Structure 1
Amino acid sequence: MDFKNYFEELKRRKVFKTAIAYIAAAWIIAQITADLLPIFEIPPFIQKVILIILIVGFPAILIFAWIYDVTPEGIRKTERVQNPLTERRKKTRRLNAAIISLLSIAVLIMIYDQFTISERGNSEILTLVAKEDSIERSVAVLPFKNWSGDSSLEYVSDGIADEITTNLEDIEELDKVIAFRQTLKYKYSDLDLKQISDSLDVRFILDGSIQLSGDKIRVKVQLLDCQTNEYYWKEVFTTNWDTEEIFTLQNEVTRRVVEKMDKEVGVDTVLFEKQLPTESTEAYEYYLKGLYQERKGSQQGIARSIEFFSKAIELDSTFIQAYKSLSNSYMYGGVFNGVNEQRYSWRSSKKYVEKVLEMSKDEGDLRWAKQRMRTNSYFFEWDFDLMEKEYLEGFDDNSYLMKTLYEFNTGRFEEALQTAELRADRYPACGVCQAYLANALFFLGRLNESTRVLDQNFDLFNDNYTFLREAAITYYYLGDYSKSQEALKRIRFIYNDNSPTILFLMAVNYNVSGDTNAEKEILDSLLEQYRNQNSGSPAWNLAKYYAHTGEYENSITWLQRSFERYDVEMIWLRTEPLFAPIRKDPRYLEIYKNVGFPVPPEVFPEDVSRTIQ
């Protein structure tokens, strides 16, 4: 074959120019598709289909260009023309014009991306810096959308947004960063970003999307200035799916966000002191999966998180974040969820705290370890002395939920209301904050207000496990059994939870409705959990059940067994409304004394106890 003649023939048939034109057109289509599909919420697989068509179309168009020619008279089969250079030039002018047009459009798109995103961001920075005194550096990171076409990758989109939130929380110069758990409820919300920012009371909203394909990940982020309701910054990051690249990407997004909010923050000295959490990409994937499950808060979610965090540690025994998360999950599983035997949960959680202390000298890790040991000691050892000491000295801001809980347990209801109101106002998207506010109002006898708080938040948090559990309990105490049953149905439907607290609530609701067969079945399950030494305080919940039915001798018997088992829920002994009728019983007072409360026992207000008789 004469390659020179073959090359000339390719040129004559305009195969090269057709290839250039096709590539330019395909790039424009792909770029427009990537930008427009998410806006119209078209499923991500459509983009994949379009890309496959474009790829398959490339060789097809080359074959077409070789065989056929586009002429003023229409499409004709290309003939072996001997000459004319002038004729050849004439035929290619239209194709040249098409190529130039397409390339011009491509260049304009690239310029637009850079100018209107980067330059507009810079110009807005100047405007905001001029008003620097009025800048409120507050931000919420919404769960990123998963545009990978695979629902099992939700843990990636949530995990990256969560890690960026954690980075922002570490920057002390920011005025306010909404915890990621509090933004999760907006994942499938119909509210627009301005409405979400008003609800969260923040100036900036960061949202985005991820696309993971093979070993590549594309992360698109955008920062909304909610005062002007305009996007302040947009950017697309494409990188390899490995731990170092993802960690760098998360740091870069954090740095850029803070720069845009206020370039005087001095983030560099804070952010880049962080170390790569693990060099194992597989370990990091298991860690993100563990976080995804742990956020659910349910019995199954906690059990799965323990499994995933343990696998992350097996793959990287130096992965400090995984040790911290595993310790947290063991604590949650031993306190509320009935995942593992209670003492085993305590030993496991403590073991991983000690591992973190052994491996890390970071101030944040040491602070976390102190808080975790304090919380574990209180839940599992009833260490009221330590809690009372820290309470009188003042809890740090990261312990507001523990502060409220301790105020409930020790009967400081006015103080609990102040703490709950402060946090509920500051974090309106926090389900447990709203539930604790309702609890505080209930304990103070402000029953109508307690009901109103629950009712106003029920639709908003109707998929939040912690809120639903607390709502089911408080509605029951308020005597609103239908609402308590509604919350229970949501928990059972979404989470299929069988923890002791949920079984107790099901049993008393069946008792109220007169379904004796279902009531007996649930009681048998609680008894079985007690015999199997499940965590989640089954003996305590049986004591509450018999107090509900007025069988106070049985209630005292099960309280004694709960004490012997060191049930976590015994910290509620002073203020549990169901035990109001037995608070003067010498056996109750003896248990109370042995638990070690720092305050004397108190008879519960009659007006509240009557609501549950």
Structure 2
Amino acid sequence: MIGRSLGHFEITAALGAGGMGEVYRATDTKLGREVALKVLPADLAADAGRLARFRREAQTLASLDHPGIVTIHSVEEADGLHFLTMQLVAGRTLTELLAAGALPVPEIRRIGSEVAAALAAAHGKGVIHRDLKPANIMVTPDGRVKVLDFGLARREQATTDATADLTMDMTTREGVVLGTLPYMSPEQVRGETADARSDIFSLGSVLYEMAGGRRPFRGTSALELGSAITRDAPEPLSSVRGDLPVELERIIDRCLAKDPADRFPDMTEVAQALRGDPGFLESASSFPAATGRTPGSRRFLLVAIVAVAVVVAAVGLRTLSDGSGGTGDGGIRSLAVLALDNYSGDPAQDYFAEGMTDGLTAYLARISRLRVISRGSAMQFRGADRPPTPEIARILDVDAVVEGSVVRDGDRVRITAQLIDARADRSLWGESFERSSQDVLALQDELAAAIARAILVQLTPDERSRLQEADAIDPEAYDAYLKGRYFFNRPSDENLQKAIARFEEALAISPGFVPALSGLSDAVLWAGYNEGFLTATEARPRARDAAERAIALDPGSAEAWTSLATFRAWYEYDYAGAEEAYHRAIALNPSYSYARDQFAMALAFQGRFAEANAESRIAIGLDPLNPQVHIDASVGLALSGEIAAATDLVRQAEDLDPTYFFPHWSYGWIAIQDGRPADAIPHFERAKTMGASAFVSAWLAYAFGAVGDAEALAAEREDLAALSLRGQVTAFDQALVALGRGENAQALSFLEQAHATDSQWLGWLKSDRVFAPVRSDARFEALLAKVNLAD
């Protein structure tokens, strides 16, 4: 076949053979691209019924749009041969990777969760794999995972090795054995109908092999192997591998349950569990109910009321270790680091105490067996008037809290901390740590490790290594970095400028300081989104360079992977690349709420609303008192038509910070999604009075146009120009104004210009209601394709 042409496909190399036939590398001469070409065996092609079924199934698989699934381009026929054309994927199969033995825990989580996410997408379209095995999982050179061979017809073939991959006829009829024997589910072995839970069992077998370096079930014959699958429990992984986290072993055991009803209910939950999500909620679309506002109440009490509503209505976001808010065995599996008090006697050192709190939170969040509340929520409770510790713990839904103080005296830093059991309101441990300023990172490591020992959490070797590898840092560089974080956590345009300046100051002193690089990327990207003092085009290379440098210097930094992922999603519209990077970040730090929050936004832009809402719920559970997390979570709900739930989340955000303009913009935007532009106007006007960015005026102008108020639209257009950077209205904002005027052709021209000028707003194109008038236009469809949002 090498050198032969089938239609406009020139075969250039053989890639392998499978139950469906020979696989070749080929060149598509029409499109000028390399493809994989699978030629079907003659007996299958000669059976009209099976060929028709094969074509129908191929069409279903071709409709799957997921970065973890190999794309089927077409079903072809030429010279009497029937064949598939597919995406050509470079890389190594999981079988090849496992030849060297078991994989590191982070890789098990990452690869397993990406496979589960791909299967969840297939199951959502009614497609069951039925033959999942390491040979059907490809890992590309850049680490992305692709699942091959989804449920297509197989021909029966003999084998002389009973424990080798025994491939049998792939049908769905009860009474016929399906799949590859070592990875079959018990129901497959018995010839019963296989559903999506059968794929969960097969994934469990693959996970077991990744963790243990061998298959879970063995036998000297096919009969003996089949009997082991249906009757025997595999050897406990804890006896095979001592460093395996308990919760990961439990995940694998649950996947391998003999009874399908005892396995995870769906692949989405498997993916969440493997990523280390702190817990799961009952449904993909329910969010915490909002509470009413209480005029005149003190802010921490208002925060407490809202947070209790979040915790109660969200069903708690329980830990993986035992599935309940308490630990059941008296252990501590969740905690919050409260704001460390500044005892330096100098209010100007508040930023340093806050930075120490942030650093300790980040270090503890790396421990996979702990759920650690994000700093934004924990920092709400500070000073002498904060609620009692048990009340704080109940609001944040944690077992324990860490509190203490920081003293900075010249070149010395001393942190005094204590760990408090929130249920008993008693101190479990307390200690002071003192180091020189240049060893402050090591001090944070030492403190985090001491807390882990105090709560009897066993660190994995990877975690222990991470907590021991802190380098010395120039005190001035670290000081500048802490100031940058301080300003970034309050992201007005003025503070973003200050944050960028401080991060750059830190990097001028210590060019390889990864946290400062990640912080710089995040701050520049945010500034480019607002375009208040940097245009999107000016921000783009700076954000990308900082993120890529951070990854190159420290591939184990969750913050760096999140920065890169967010850049890919918002600037490059590379959602597949962003998803891979978000998964890496979450595997490194399951408690990093910013990664969850931004991942949810990227999923919502793609129309993957159930997944987006699930990630948003986790982000809220990790950072329940952060108004921006609630606002971001409302996006997926509103775009999917769940207006009441979206509005409830925005109301909670407003309750959390009544001075923040963004909730009022969100109220207006949600009203537009609900077809009520008149209701949007007062909300946008209120946001403008609260120091909103210029983009709010563009949305207000659109709303005036939508209700036919041309005079108000014109006035707002002038206001927009006055508020915009250097008096230049962005192309995206001009597109909104044109849509308000009903000038659709002009709006399309502005949207195309927005793409050319690096706008970060084009992720909204796929589902936002404002684009309905141009959605069927060929120019709009072409633009959707450019930003990877075409159906």
TM bracket (short chain): 0.5 to 0.7
- 1:585 equivalent in structure 2: 777
Is the partner of 2:404 in helix, strand or coil? strand
Q: 2:528 aligns with which of 330, 334, 353?
A: 334
1:247–1:418 distance in 2 versus 1, CA, 3 Å: closer
- Cα pair distance change 1:308/1:137, threshold 3 Å: same
Q: Give distance in 1, aligned partners of 2:542 and 2:750.
A: 27
Aligned to 1:325: 519
- Residue 373 of structure 1 pairs with residue 564 of structure 2: yes
Cα deviations across residues 207-234 of structure 1 (Å, max 9, x unaligned)? 2233445445453433221111223334
Map 1:526-545 to 2 at 5 A: 529=726, 531=728, 538-545=730-737
SS in 2 for 1:228: coil
Aligned 8 A contact 2:667 2:680 in 1: no
Q: Secondary structure at the match of 1:561?
A: helix
Looking at structure 2, the residues matched to 271 and 555 of structure 1 have their Cα atoms a distance apart, in angstroms, of 51
Equivalent in the alignment of 1:523: 720
Alignment of 1:194-593 (within 5 A): 194-237=390-433, 240=436, 242-244=437-439, 246-262=440-456, 264-265=458-459, 269-270=464-465, 272-278=467-473, 280-358=474-552, 360=553, 362-365=554-557, 369-384=560-575, 386-387=577-578, 397=590, 399-425=595-621, 427-462=623-658, 470=666, 473-474=669-670, 477=673, 479-490=679-690, 492=691, 498=693, 500-505=694-699, 507=701, 519-525=716-722, 529=726, 531=728, 538-593=730-785
8 A contact 2:565–2:581 mirrored in 1 = no
Normalised to the residue count of structure 2, the TM-score between the two structures is: 0.51
Higher normalized helix content (fraction of residues): 1
Q: Is the 8 A contact 2:562 2:581 kept in 1?
A: no
- 5 Å matches for 1:28-47? none
Cα deviation for residue 263 of structure 1 reads 6.0
Distance of aligned partners of 1:255 and 1:463 in 2 relative to their CA distance in 1, 3 Å threshold:
farther
**Displacement of 1:384:** 4.3
Residue 503 of structure 1 deviates from its aligned partner by 4.0
Match of 2:373 among 175, 178, 181: 178
Q: Secondary structure at the match of 1:411?
A: coil
Report if the CA contact (8 A) 2:562-2:582 is conserved.
no
Tell me the SS of whatever aligns to 2:556.
helix
Deviation at 1:470, TM superposition (A): 4.6
* Bigger Cα Rg: 1
Cα separation, 2, equivalents of 1:304 and 1:429: 24
1:247-271 deviation line (CA, Å, top 9, x unaligned): 3432333233222222655799346
Q: Compared with structure 1, are the counterparts of its residues 364 and 263 closer, same or farther at alpha carbon in structure 2 (3 Å cutoff)?
A: closer
Q: Report sequence identity in percent.
A: 22
Q: Distance in 1 between matches of 2:464 and 2:531?
A: 40
- One-letter code of the match for 2:371? K
CA contact (8 A) 2:650 2:663 kept: no
Judge which range, 134-143 or 205-214, deviates more.
205-214
One-letter code of the match for 2:721? D
Separation (CA, whole Å) in 1 of partners of 2:534 and 2:375: 27
For each residue in 1:530-558, what CA deviation from the matched residue of structure 2 results, as whole angstroms up to 9, or x when unmatched? 748xxxxx211221233235443443332
Distance 1:179 1:294 in 2: 15
| Aligned partners of 1:404 and 1:419 also within 8 Å | yes
What SS class does the counterpart of residue 376 from structure 2 fall into?
A: helix
Q: Return the alpha-carbon distance in structure 1 between the equivalents of residues 715 and 387 of structure 2.
A: 40
Rounded to whole Å, the distance in 2 between the matches of 1:199 and 1:213 is 35
Contact persistence 2:363–2:448 (CA under 8 A): yes
Asked if the contact 2:355/2:482 (under 8 Å) is kept, the reply is yes
User: Which sits farther off after the overlay, 179-188 or 286-295?
Assistant: 179-188
2:341–2:406 CA contact under 8 A, matched in 1: yes
Match of 1:30 in 2: none
Q: Secondary structure at the match of 1:275?
A: coil
- Give the CA deviation at 1:202: 0.9
CA deviations 1:438-480 (Å, max 9, x no partner) are 2233223232232222223421133567767655643665535
1:571 Cα deviation after fit: 1.9
Q: Which amino acid counterpart does residue 226 of structure 1 have in structure 2?
A: A
Partner of 1:74: none
Kindly state the Cα deviation for residue 168 of structure 1 after the two structures are TM-superposed. 0.5
Match of 1:274, SS? coil
| Residues 525 and 230 of structure 1, relative CA distance in 2, 3 Å threshold | same
1:156 matches 2:156: no
The CA deviation string for residues 74-128 of structure 1, in whole angstroms up to 9 with x for no partner, is xxxxxxxxxxxxxxxxxxxxxxxxxxxxxxxxxxxxxxxxxxxxxxxxxxxxxxx
| 1: CA distance, partners of 2:339 / 2:715 | 39
- Long gaps (5+) in structure 2: 1-326
Whether the 8 Å CA contact 2:414–2:434 is kept in 1: the answer is yes
Q: In structure 2, what is the Cα distance between the partners aligned to 1:142 and 1:390?
A: 29
Look up the SS of the partner of 1:459 in the other structure. Answer: helix
CA distance 1:301–1:219, shift in 2 (3 Å): same
- Alpha-carbon distance in structure 1 between the residues aligned to 2:472 and 2:684: 43
Q: Which moved more, 1:380-389 or 1:325-334?
A: 380-389
Paired residue secondary structure (1:219): strand
Matched residue, 2:329: 133
CA contact 2:544–2:564 (8 Å) conserved in 1: yes
Is the 8 Å Cα contact of residues 377 and 383 (structure 1) preserved in structure 2?
A: yes
* 1:508 Cα offset (Å): 5.6
Q: Distance in 2 between matches of 1:151 and 1:477?
A: 45
* Residues 296 and 465, structure 1, Cα contact 8 Å, conserved in 2: no
Give the 5 Å matches for 1:87-106.
none
Q: Distance in 1 between matches of 2:410 and 2:631?
A: 43
Contact 2:601 2:636 in 1 (8 A): no
Range with greater deviation from structure 2 (319-328 or 307-316): 319-328
How has the CA–CA distance of structure 1 residues 403 and 313 changed in structure 2, closer, same or farther, with 3 Å as cutoff?
Answer: closer
CA distance 1:527–1:501, change in 2 (3 Å):
closer
Higher relative contact order (CA 8 A, sep 6+): 1
- Give the letter aligned to residue 486 of structure 2: Y
Distance 1:337 1:227 in 2: 47
Name the counterpart of 2:786.
Answer: 594
Deviation at 1:342, TM superposition (A): 2.4
Change (3 A) 1:451 1:595: closer
Residues 515, 421 of structure 1: alpha-carbon distance in 2 compared, 3 angstrom cutoff: same
8 Å CA contact 1:168–1:177 kept in 2: the answer is yes
What does the per-residue CA deviation read over 1:401-423, in whole Å, with 9 as the maximum and x for residues that have no partner? 34322222122233333333344
Distance across 2 between alignment mates of 1:470 and 1:208: 37
Which ranges of structure 1 fall in alignment gaps of 5 or more residues? 1-130, 533-537, 601-613
| SS of the residue 2:380 aligns to | helix
Task: Tell whether the 8 Å contact from 1:435 to 1:467 is kept in structure 2 after alignment.
Answer: yes
Distance 1:382 1:440, change over 3 A: closer
